[in-house]
Amino acid sequence: MTVMDTVRAVDHDRYLSALYAPAEKRDALLALYAFNAEIAGVRDRIREALPGEVRLQWWRDVIKSDASDAGAGHPLAEALMTAIRQHNLPRQAFDNYLEARIFDLYDDPMPSRTDLEGYCGETASALIQLAALALDPIEAPRFAELAGHAGCAQAITGLLLLLPQHRARGQCYVPADILAAVGSSPQEFLAGNGGPAAGRAVTAMIALAQEHMSAFERGAAMLPAVLRPAFLPLALTKAYLTSMSSRDAVASLSRAVQLSALKRHWLLFRRAGRGWA
């Protein structure tokens, strides 16, 4: 399976957004998105935490390596290393990303909102910023803060979409301090129907994602067209949040909202052409 096929199969929203990037930049974006999908799926493929950490360490070693043949024989690693070298992407960002992803391998509850936002910043926000750097290394640094809010909105929305899967395997990404504020706990939230405060916890998470989405939208009109493809998935994030907000919050515990293929194509097409002006 090629890098493009991987992204198309496992992260269709980002795949569609990458198609709006200039042809000469598309391979770099697809390599970044395939890498993200590969690491995000480690927990699903490797049931034990320690082998998962070994896998993440393999990636850290490959990315840190100065050897010209680093990642040779692994199509995705080769594509990622090509993107890193061609676009001079900061390797420390990948190391931070992989460090943050260790959390996914365990069932420890997310301690606080601050910890959740830090996790989102090192993962989804970093991915947006790396994509922006590949698109335009001069303009991208000006919008690092915007990428931070965009990534938090996108990642928290993604965690809400994955709530049924995470609860089934005993993972709680809803911060313990948010759960305590609504009268719940990680243990109660993961058990049975989530308890009487489950809906309030989901509503609080939706509100947190919307808070970051609003912060992104306040600055998004300034995004130059050249960086737009890196931020395009936010058009879908907004739609997912709107759908979540319009239904019973408890429903998110057992069934994720979905957007039709036609709606996703239309939203991306509109933002790709008009931006967030």
pLDDT tens across 26-50, in order? Answer: 999 999 999 999 999 999 998 899 9
Alpha-carbon span 145 to 132, nearest angstrom: 12
Whole-angstrom distance between the N-terminal and C-terminal Cα of the chain? 38
For the segment 147-160, the average pLDDT, to the nearest whole number, is 98
Per-residue confidence band for 212, with pLDDT thresholds at 50, 70 and 90: very high
CATH architecture of 3-274: Orthogonal Bundle (1.10)
Answer for the pair 184, 198: CB distance below 8 angstroms, yes or no: yes
Domain ranges, ordered by start, for the chain: 3-274
pLDDT at 242: 96
Alpha-carbon span 147 to 127, nearest angstrom: 9
Burial 129-143 (b: 16+ CB within 10 A, else e): bbbbbbbbeeebeeb
pTM over 0.85: yes
Nearest to 19 by CA among 7, 1, 36: 7
Residue 120 in tokens: 């989102």
